[in-house]
Structure 1
């Protein structure tokens, strides 16, 4: 394994002489910043079989060196390999199927490393590329809201390092296929770190090798990791571990790596692992990576759903709901993001909407409906309705998460969550969770060993709702996913007659039933054709949707948002 990490002495000397990069440096190209989007024929011609990734982390120079051995199967004839890799990590050598290439056989002007193969590969053929590279990787400005390396120090001055890559992509630190369906089937990692530091990462620990100078190589193996789910974490970690006895009969290793001096707080967080896992297994289905681990590592950034090694940086915050929302949210992504991965960034509400909905659902599981209602109302105030959740095209990550790029931003979290809340009330708990299991596992009877990570889409999800319920709910998704404005329920009361009518963008059909409470008695109004009239006694007290089951326009919340904006414009506290 040591031979994988031989460094070019001249390159190391140059790095040692250079100043350390500041946040946002070195600059990255538009190509590297981009993740996903429309793919070329060369990209879609590749199946990513495996990646063997050897890294050496060099904290003193804040640099990284690596050797990546990538195996692909050609789905169509290929003569070139298009590999995404930040040009700040220049390539020093490439071998194809064990034969070294001349430097003229590859180029990387903008962040897509293009390798001309010595000879074409026919459909069904395999090709192995060994890429040696290294340099100064991009430093994140404010991880995880932007991406890159996070170089930090522990309170006692030791190295504390992490990577984040969801937005800009895996090419920030390893050669990859930077789009959602570019997942490798198997990844093996060898992470060399200075003496006294540890490197928890994805999957199963194969072993730790100690070198003559005290450095250690941490060897891990993970199956079907999400493209941005590969993570490097380096620090003087201490560890808590245990085993969860699953209701499905298997035993799941649990590990938490935390900073020295935090044992009591770490133990409190670790105590949440088993009950949270029990919640997900009881409500959704088997933990998807039970044969690897439930892993969490403390990081110098807020958090991220790195598969089986979720990043945690919530500083052990306390909350009225009695559990750590950040740990729970990132853990939710093991099901919604890592097991079920949206094939197109445009469908990432499947990750974030479900991931967000799992917090109030867990609140209900722990404490009942009052906690669920309180948490849902907390989410409701964050819905913006500026852009539709989906754009119905192939998008990049930025075009989904960033408002100025046309994305829905935080609405894929909170509006997605509220849409699921409304859907659950509409089709009922059994149908809702049947749909969820089919979306996550691809089957209704998931058990450890009978499923593997899969790709999903909005189109498939709608089809699953139709399959499970026997009804077409296209009108529902047309409004909540494909329109920005919320449906408005118009109430008119004349004498003893109450008339309700849905007003939706485009004036299409919207027959969403509504509960109406009259003098304390609640009934469900069908709203056939989007309208309904009912007789109510004169002077009766009427409450529409008393349990807030429906996501609809709220003039009160719009007024609050306008007032806050006006206060902010005046420079006044809100």
Structure 2
């Protein structure tokens, strides 16, 4: 239990100003940050405008040929969609580095206009609302490596063999409707690669076919809705071994030299799935199975094809991720990236502004995993270890309609907020019932923060909107102000919060006795003879700041 206590100047009024606490004492900086100015590309990518909103995706059938020696790709994506409004244009995307070789509606070539990574496709006749259409989009070129993981990267494994992978939050190595709101209902992925290599992609393995010219085509079928950025190629000299959990196939693909470490480390996968099923229900992609695939980067949550590069060791890249001695007990990448199967892949944010729905909940799943394995105290220590990573410089939910990735607070602050919310509810039976109901309600859906808040409010019968707003839409933490007046034996208390209607009950300990306070942003007063040092606030249970005042 940690209490943050500040020395104060004299006076008897509860409105006395406190000394400023050093950042180290608060556990996080709250200095404002220079804003990132969005580019035109950010608006093009982020806006769900007329030519995206006028259609509903139904399926993709992606067929791609990969030439490792020339570092080139070519292929076709058959895009099936239903018009929601009459129109003559739709908006798709492909990296500006790649060539559009042609777009066809049946046998009719279509005109198109390129604008950075955007491709506007024009039709000679008006497409009618309620009618389904299918176009073939041919493309080719040499993908440019981008981002932390490379986008689509042509690399070599430690033995000098071809090793080609895709990873990143916004991948345009194949033509698609690049946004989060609208997902296809199903997808086929066919990958032609040189003989002797293996492709592991999303979904269920359908089969492989020998092709002329020394190539083999690997076919996969995705039975469920899937995010564009989850679509994955993993091409290498993979070998395969497997496990099973009831009807769920669990498949592992690693380089031959990694087999011993993989058999040891990947044994964590099945009990991890069992734990998350206990909290949320059945693994959400049973027909596609669960795969864990070795990759040359730390890891990524590709749906039903999670990639792994954590050196076959516990912790994160062989270090104690939260610094409290819990991380070395398990493999962070297996747990975190697989947790995205529930939050990120099954329950998905409809806009990058609400990415905390994916990353914050998934980080909170780490705490639930630790609790299931090593108990609630260990889980609390683990999640509180994230506090030094929080910046509190900007809101977690960012501007809608602009492709702007939220800050890292979406991971750590969001998870600490959910940890706090559980303790505010203070009823684990209701909390865990709500978690399961929420997941089942939003499974295979793309949602906004408002959808989740409305559902949780209804489930719990409480209006928690101001609490969500303070933690997600405001930069600063709420501060509990406690003002002790020894002369009349009273305690004045309130929340200092940006959200005007913020009201959050909180349990404190006064002279060893538990006490429930229900502060708002207005001062309240109560009899309290205990000194400020005798009152403790469990800041390991609630992620808040605390200021104490004492009159002379």
Please state which band the TM-score falls in when normalised by the shorter chain: 0.7 to 0.9
| Residues 36/280 of structure 1: CA separation in 2 closer, same or farther (3 Å cut) | farther
Give the Å deviation of 1:418: 0.9
| 500, 521, 524: which one aligns with 2:516 | 524
Who is 2:496 aligned against? 504
3-state SS in 1 of match to 2:296: coil
Q: Is the partner of 1:187 in helix, strand or coil?
A: strand
1: CA distance between counterparts of 2:43 and 2:241? 37
8 Å Cα contact 1:519-1:540 kept in structure 2:
no
Instruction: Tell me, yes or no, if the aligned pair for 1:488 and 1:504 is still in contact at 8 Å.
Output: yes
Distance in 1, Cα, partners of 2:539 & 2:375: 14
Shift of the alpha carbon at 1:93?
Answer: 2.5
SS across alignment from 1:442: helix
In the aligned structure 1, how far is the partner of 2:211 from the partner of 2:103? 26
Distance 2:376 2:518 in 1: 24
> How far apart in 1 are the matches of 2:490 and 2:372?
36
Taking a change above 3 Å as real, the CA distance of residues 490 and 123 of structure 1, as seen in their structure-2 partners, is same
Partner deviation per Cα, 1:150-198 (whole Å, 9 max, x = no partner): 22211110011111231xx23x211111110231111101101112111
Residue matched to 1:216: 216
Give the number of the structure with larger relative contact order, counting CA–CA contacts within 8 Å between residues 6 or more apart: 2
Q: Which residues in structure 2 correspond to 1:109-148 (within 5 Å)?
A: 109-143=115-149, 148=151
Residue in 1 aligned with 2:35? none
Q: After the TM superposition, which parts of structure 1 deviate over 6 Å for at least 4 consecutive aligned residues?
A: 30-35
> Alignment partner of 1:441: what SS?
helix
Match of 2:103 in 1: 94
Shift of residue 211 of structure 1? 2.6
Instruction: Establish whether residue 400 from structure 1 lines up as the match of residue 405 from structure 2.
Output: yes
Deviation at 1:239, TM superposition (A): 1.5
The equivalent position to 2:161 in structure 1, one of 158, 162, 185, is: 158
Residues 126/527 of structure 1: CA separation in 2 closer, same or farther (3 Å cut): same
Unmatched 5+ stretches in structure 1 = 1-29, 246-250, 402-408, 444-451, 556-574
SS of residue paired to 2:307: strand
Are 1:314 and 2:310 an aligned pair? yes
Aligned-partner Cα distance in 1 for 2:154–2:492: 57
Q: How has the CA–CA distance of structure 1 residues 292 and 40 changed in structure 2, closer, same or farther, with 3 Å as cutoff?
A: same
Matched with 1:446 is none
1:455 maps to 446
Equivalent runs, 1:262-411 vs 2, <5 Å: 262-319=258-315, 320-321=325-326, 322-391=329-398, 393-397=399-403, 399-401=404-406, 409-411=407-409
For 1:261, what is the secondary structure of its paired residue? helix
Shift of 1:140: 2.3
1:253 paired to 2:249: yes
TM-score scaled to structure 2, two decimals? 0.84
1:191/1:219 contact within 8 Å kept: yes
Residues 411-455 of structure 1, C-alpha deviation per residue, up to 9 Å, x if partnerless?
Answer: 111110011111111123233333333332217xxxxxxxx5112
Task: Evaluate the alpha carbon distance shift between residue 343 and residue 538 of structure 1 in structure 2; reply closer, same or farther with a 3 A threshold.
Answer: closer
Local SS of the residue matching 2:248: strand
TM-score normalized by the length of structure 1: 0.81
Aligned residue pairs, count: 497
CA distance, structure 1, for counterparts of residue 489 and residue 153 of structure 2? 63
Cα distance change of structure 1 residues 217 and 507 upon mapping to structure 2, 3 Å threshold: closer
Label 1:356 to 1:514 Cα distance change in 2 as closer, same or farther (>3 A).
Answer: same
Aligned equivalents of 2:513, 2:452: Cα separation in 1: 35
Looking at structure 2, the residues matched to 305 and 57 of structure 1 have their Cα atoms a distance apart, in angstroms, of: 22
RMSD: 2.4
2:43, 2:251 → 1: CA distance? 33
Moved more, 305-314 or 81-90: 81-90
The answer as to whether partners of 2:112 and 2:121 remain within 8 angstroms in 1 is: yes
Contact 2:308 2:333 in 1 (8 A): yes
Matching residue of 1:548: 540
CA contact (8 A) 1:162 1:299 kept: yes
Q: Which residue of 2 aligns with 1:419?
A: 417
C-alpha spacing 1:468/1:182, structure 2 compared with 1 (3 Å): closer
Name the SS of the counterpart of 2:199 in structure 1.
coil
Contiguous gaps of at least 5 residues in structure 2: 1-38, 316-324, 548-552
Matches within 5 A, 1:423-502: 423-427=421-425, 428-442=427-441, 453-495=444-486, 497=489, 499=491, 501-502=493-494
